[in-house]
Amino acid sequence: MSILDAIKSMSDERFLAIYEALSEQGFGPLDGEVARAMKFRPHAIRKLPIDKRAKKAKTILVAGGRAELAYELCGGYLLRTHEELMPDFLDATGVPHENGMIEDTGESLPDVEKLDEAVKTLDEKYPSEDVTLYLCICAMQWPEVERLAAIYTERSAA
C-alpha cells in the first residue's frame, strides 16, 4: 500500500485533522494547489470553508498521483504533532540518526528483530492512527524491510 492508498482510505475527518494541523494563518498546506484547481485567486481561497479545501486537496493528491506531495504532507504532520515519534522509532530499531534525520536510508536499516517491540512502545506513547501513518512512510522508505510492510498492512486493514 502506498501513501496515496493510505490517504485515499482515510476518512475525510482524519484528512481534515491533518490538514488543519498544518494550517497557518488561515491557509491550509495545499491551498495554493486548491486555489489553482478551483480557479480562485490565492487569497480568495480562505473564503471557502477549510473542510471543503481539505476535501479538494485530498482529491488533488489521490487523483493526481501526487505521492511525493502526500509523503511531505504526512511527514510534516507527524513532525509538527509528534516531534519525537520518528527519533523514538529510530532509536528503538537501531537506526543511526541526528534528531530523526537519517543520512543514508539505504545503508541504515531498522533491525527487524526490534520492530514489533518498537511499534508496541510507539502505540503506548502516540495515537495508533499516527503510528500507522508513520509505518506507511517507513515501509516506503525501506521497501527491502518486508516486516515493515507487513506490520503496516496488518494495521491498515484493521
pTM: 0.91
pLDDT band at 105 (very low <50, low <70, confident <90, very high): low
pLDDT at 99: 83
pLDDT band at 6 (very low <50, low <70, confident <90, very high): very high
3-state secondary structure of 98: strand
Give domain limits for the chain.
3-66, 85-157
Report pLDDT digits (tens) over 111-152: 999 999 999 999 999 999 999 999 999 999 999 999 999 999
pLDDT at 1: 67
- For the record, the C-alpha cell of 79 comes out as 513532525
- For the record, the C-alpha cell of 65 comes out as 498521483
Nearest to 154 by CA among 124, 125, 126, 115: 115
Report pLDDT digits (tens) over 49-95: 999 999 999 999 999 999 999 999 999 999 999 999 999 999 999 99
**Distant-in-sequence contacts of 43-52, Cβ < 8 A, 24+ apart:** 50/16, 50/19, 50/20, 50/23, 51/12, 51/16
pLDDT at 137: 95
Report pLDDT digits (tens) over 7-44: 999 999 999 999 999 999 889 999 999 999 999 998 89
pLDDT at 26: 87
